[in-house]
Amino acid sequence: MMSYANAFFGSHERPPLTWPDPSRFCCRCGSVQSGGRPVASRSTSCLPLSSKNGSPTRCDGCGREPDARGERLRSSGVSEVYCGWCDHGASAETLRSWKSAPGNEASCVTAGRLLGEMLLWQCEGNFLVDPALSWRNVLVPVPGWWGRRLRRGFDAPLRLAEGISEILGWPVWSPLCRVHGERMAGKSRSERRQASHRLFRMRFDSECKANCGSNLWLVDDLLASGSTSAAASRLLRFVRPHRVILVAANVSN
């Protein structure tokens, strides 16, 4: 089916993606860390360092002053952020080709497999020291704009989640429905924030109860302002998960 879709929508071979470099990104806010230093530990609190009056002064992951994206993700309940590639270089060009050209479904699943290997490498040591990671883990793709899905011939976050699932064996659950008809690309940060409040709705089904208390891993193709991921996380909190963790392929800084 995938090869048929690629042939039908005119996909052609793309340059291979490099191995994702998760040590470059802060696990709290998703920003590129100065010097690309690796993160030694991953707290589940996702709380930045605070001043005496209780206001955040800087992110305790990368040491930066907290920006709107980091605060938005934290306040929506996202406890950790895993990123694959930055918004420049050959890999970013390959990722952007999903947005501008049809097809490329096979490349998208391949990127998902690389993200799955990255998560396995990142979490492998933490499974022994963090009991919560041994709980049920579920991949939740963030639905994209319908116009882009139609032009691509597939939904990139869903294909990324399926690629991750091939490596980790975690189930893919799609409880989110996109109801806001406008695209987010090209909007300012304030416009994204306003539009995100009516972006999704939850599809409550029998799996909602089954996934209560699970680790829900939000999967998206791009982390820009964080408004879309935050909107999805706020809805997923109605399922009462143990954690909501964000996995983004391409990060805009």
The CATH number given to whatever domain includes residue 139 is 3.40.50.2020
Pick from 31-35, 62-66, 108-112 the range whose average pLDDT is largest: 108-112
**49 is a domain residue:** no
Q: What is the pLDDT of residues 26-43, one digit of tens each?
A: 888 888 876 544 443 444
Question: Is 60 exceeded by the pLDDT of residue 212?
Answer: yes
d(CA 3, CA 103): 10
Asked if the structure places residue 182 within a domain, the reply is yes
217 domain-assigned: yes
| First and final C-alpha spacing in the chain | 35
> 246: pLDDT confidence band, cut at 50, 70 and 90?
very high
In a domain, 4, yes or no: no
* pLDDT at position 17: 81
Give the domain range for residue 148.
Answer: 71-251
Count up the domains in the chain and report the number: 1
Q: Dump the DSSP string for 162-196.
A: HHHHHHH-PPB---EEE---S--TT--HHHHHHHH
Average pLDDT on 192-210 reads 76
Q: Please name which of 23, 27, 139, 33 lies closest in space to residue 78, comparing C-alpha atoms.
A: 27
Check residue 118 and give its pLDDT.
92
Query: Which span out of 25-34, 51-60, 244-253 was modeled with the highest average pLDDT?
Result: 244-253
Burial 185-220 (b: 16+ CB within 10 A, else e): eebeeeebbebbeebbeeeeeeebeebeebbbbbbb
When pLDDT is averaged across residues 78-93 and rounded to a whole number, the result is 85
Beta bridge partners of 244: 78, 216
Distance CA 87, CA 99 (A): 13
What pLDDT was estimated at residue 210?
Answer: 87
Q: Reduce the secondary structure of 101-125 to three states and give it as a string.
A: CCCCHHHHHHHHHHHHHHHHHHHCC
Handedness of CA 30, 33, 36, 41 (dihedral sign): negative
- Asked if residue 95 is part of any domain, the answer here is yes
Highest mean pLDDT among 48-52, 71-75, 83-87, 171-175: 171-175
Q: Has residue 76 got a pLDDT over 90?
A: yes
Q: Residue 156 domain-assigned?
A: yes
What pLDDT does residue 141 have? 97
Instruction: Please say if the pLDDT value at position 181 is more than 60.
Output: no
Residue 32 sits at φ, ψ, to 5 deg, of -70, 130
DSSP string computed for 90-105:
HHHHHHHHHHHSS--H
Specify if 59 maps to a domain.
Answer: no
The model's pTM is 0.79
What's the mean per-residue pLDDT of the chain?
77
Asked if the structure places residue 162 within a domain, the reply is yes
